[in-house]
Structure 1
């Protein structure tokens, strides 16, 4: 079964996901096209989001690292050039939220989440090219976050172009406006982990320890055995929300950080949490060989979102490797089967559906590509599963 899963996931990456995103390259204006609607119409003049561009840069960098296909480096370089030339604010520092199709600033918001993803991408690009300029830009964004996007208590969210605080409408949902979010903290952790992996910088190490302790002390709710999601400035939770996808994603991303840090004391403190999360997801959110979206005020949202399924495959596989409990392996394989049957869009020229409903139908008609819909979650699932099955074998 593992051999079959390996072959299917590798094929999905090489023959479906990579070719689709290669076609999104904008050769005339730079970067990658920002919108393909549900009916597979390419909107060449749509906005180009920095998150989309950063994630594409990260994707092609890591696809090259895994597959050693030199053609992929050119796509990474294309995304890198556009990021540095169009998104980076040479006056105030940091990266903008989005530009128009020509590369002119469209939304000048400076969001901590966005800075972190650019660090993540630039660090991976440096890893495959050893381009010192890419690393310098990554560290400039790191300094921007540390000096302008946080206070003594932790990381803040949204700012204007000159880093004056503004309303966090980008990363707030479910009817609340959050001054701090679990999601932003998770991806600062992710970006810093990649930066530390390729540099072993002592200051970055220190910040990773700080962030991990924040998860332990501020984000994790021990009584409910879940992470809280949206907070005020004092880390008071704003809503009764259980984000199943973010919890399973956190379980393996935090394990990755702990592994790279090699801090045994910290691992002993936090590993029990990352071990608990997959069991809780199996108990509360695993239905019909898939994982539900979230639970708000005790009511489940039964939509099956593409990224939640992708992260669940990795999270369950990671849990299997940690515990040897075969039910996690069975769940990882079952969710992958669900993905290939219902989330992967079989139409020519498409990629994955955004989501399907409880009847396994893509009823929302959400775009195939848009500022948040990119090859990050599904591409990373492929990288992780291919690499992990090689180890298990």
Structure 2
């Protein structure tokens, strides 16, 4: 049963693993565990990692109603409030040293968004007005310092002067705007709107959906574009399978929260195309491939891509009633259980598997990007949706 499996995965593997990474000396959570399960207590602590951990434990509490789980969310919140926030110039730093001093003072829109996402969920869990106040302060920073008339900008110095976007660069590209940042600002604002019903946030969600529809979605290729110049013109031939299936359900969630029938109809057409295309081109051998650049497919099975595929295909099933999507979600969840989950005591999920489904031993189990956000959210979404089929 899907729900039972999600609860087992959450309670037996993901939750205890991240609870064990709590740093009671310097605050927050440890930032690095290598493939051999050697913990580096003095590794850099990514602020994105801490925000995602705060989001995870807040939603674990909202899902399970376990007060002990909430204590870990409070621990992450105190670390974010004390160390991740810049009290002078505002905003969230990119990363910290193990003791909470600043390691990288870059202010990235992506990072501000994840803090809003986490603080909104933490507010929902605790009704702590201070958390909501901080979320709004970060919202105002994004809207006043990190936007232009076309969309959302990327990287800034500590005092919000624009700098090169090397944090979200890959595939040899430095982009002035990215689908990834737009998606996660959208995700954050969806959560902020869900807990506040603030009309100004609703207006920005509508704006972002227009950008997705007009600039990011490529109707001819049935995919999203990924990296853009300042005017949102695509600058690389790249199809990111994981991001497309993640975007599909996150946009549908935004439509659900906004409850705008005309908008929902418009966006469902697009998200249904994305889901169908990913099913056809990326769902291979019980799992989802990674991406395709300039016609060359990367066949690695990345942990977060598998998690988002499960949620995305469940969402597609709920929307369309097509059994192929339910079968795919069940199939990939079984693949995760049998291959992606690391059976070793004291571990969690492997980072990625090769095309023979063997783990990549060069990748750590924890680092600034490897977190409980995607796999934890997969569990929460299965439980929340409660589609309990054999």
After TM superposition, the score normalised by the length of structure 1 is: 0.98
Divergent runs of 4+, >6 A: none
Alignment of 1:53 with 2:47, yes or no, is no
* Structure 2 equivalent of residue 43 of structure 1: 40
- For residues 391 and 80 of structure 1, what CA distance do their matches in structure 2 show? 33
Pairing partner for 1:323 from 320, 323, 326: 320
Q: After alignment, is 7-16 or 25-34 more displaced?
A: 7-16
Which aligned pairs between 1:1-393 and structure 2 lie closer than 5 A? 4-390=1-387
Question: Could you list the per-position Cα deviations for residues 63-86 of structure 1 after superposition, in whole angstroms to 9, with x for gaps in the alignment?
Answer: 000001110111000000000110
What root-mean-square deviation, in Å, do the aligned CA atoms of Structure 1 and Structure 2 show? Answer: 1.0
- For residues 2 and 260 of structure 2, what CA distance do their matches in structure 1 show? 33
Q: Secondary structure at the match of 1:106?
A: strand
- For residues 120 and 360 of structure 2, what CA distance do their matches in structure 1 show? 38
CA displacement at 1:390 relative to structure 2: 4.9
Q: Secondary structure at the match of 1:369?
A: coil
Unaligned segments of structure 1, at least 5 residues: none
Q: Secondary structure at the match of 2:386?
A: helix
Between 1 and 2, higher relative CO (CA 8 Å, sep ≥ 6) is seen in 2
> Quick check: 2:2–2:388 contact (8 Å CA) kept in 1?
no
After TM superposition, the score normalised by the length of structure 2 is: 0.99
> Quick check: 2:2–2:387 contact (8 Å CA) kept in 1?
no
Count the aligned residue pairs. Answer: 390
CA displacement at 1:364 relative to structure 2: 4.4
Q: After alignment, is 240-249 or 270-279 more displaced?
A: 270-279
- For residues 218 and 278 of structure 1, what CA distance do their matches in structure 2 show? 18
- For residues 251 and 99 of structure 2, what CA distance do their matches in structure 1 show? 38
Question: Could you list the per-position Cα deviations for residues 144-194 of structure 1 after superposition, in whole angstroms to 9, with x for gaps in the alignment?
Answer: 000000111110000000000000001111011000000000000000000
> Quick check: 2:156–2:163 contact (8 Å CA) kept in 1?
yes
CA displacement at 1:392 relative to structure 2: 7.6
> Quick check: 2:146–2:153 contact (8 Å CA) kept in 1?
yes
> Quick check: 2:182–2:208 contact (8 Å CA) kept in 1?
yes
- For residues 378 and 271 of structure 2, what CA distance do their matches in structure 1 show? 18
Unaligned segments of structure 2, at least 5 residues: none
